[in-house]
Structure 1
Amino acid sequence: MSDIDKRNRLKEEPFTYQITKNGTVAINFKGKQIKIVKDKEAERLIARIKAVEDNILEVQLLLAKITGNFKHGNEKSGKSKRK
């Protein structure tokens, strides 16, 4: 078993991406946009994705790596009501 995805979260395909006309890459996590990659970094990402696009797990791993450590578990989920 690989040390990269021990809990098999990438098999659920949480990341999606969209390549725009001007060459930027918008990365979404469970439907919410979390990062926009531009310029040289976007060109490298697009090339890497096209190289492994037949392997969904590899694409998910690339997207997870490019987003970095964005989710810590302490995010607020909207306005909380105080009573």
Structure 2
Amino acid sequence: MKSFSYQSTKDKVRIFWDNRPIMTLSGQKAADFLAKAEDLDEAELQLLLAKLTGQFKHGNERMAKNHRRNR
């Protein structure tokens, strides 16, 4: 399942999750990302994007755990 995607521009890379922008890389970080991403297959690319975004989903998981439907 493809959740992450990215769009590269002249000097930036925008990272999306389910078509929602979550992060923008610029400068050297964008160049490093593009160099790594060009040799990866789809599964490896998804893993790289997930690692790059770091703790992106953890905040939502904590909030959901405390929701009354999950108690």
Q: Which category of TM-score, normalised to the shorter sequence, fits these structures? A: 0.7 to 0.9
1:70 deviation in Å? Answer: 1.1
SS of residue paired to 2:57: coil
Indicate the structure with greater helix content: 2
Residue 7 of structure 2: aligned partner = 18
1:43-62 → structure 2 map (5 Å cutoff)? 43-52=31-40, 55-62=41-48
Aligned with residue 34 of structure 1, among 22, 25, 29: 22
Gaps of 5+ in 1: 1-11, 76-83
1:9-64 CA distance string (max 9 Å, x none):
xxx1100100012x211000011100001111111000001121xx1001111111
Q: TM-score, normalised by structure 2?
A: 0.78
- Count of residue correspondences: 61
Q: Structure 1 residue runs of 4+, over 6 Å off?
A: none
Length-normalised TM-score, structure 1: 0.68
The alignment-based identity, stated in percent, is 36
Residue 71 of structure 1: how far off its partner (Å): 1.0
User: Please, what is the CA RMSD of the aligned residues?
Assistant: 1.3
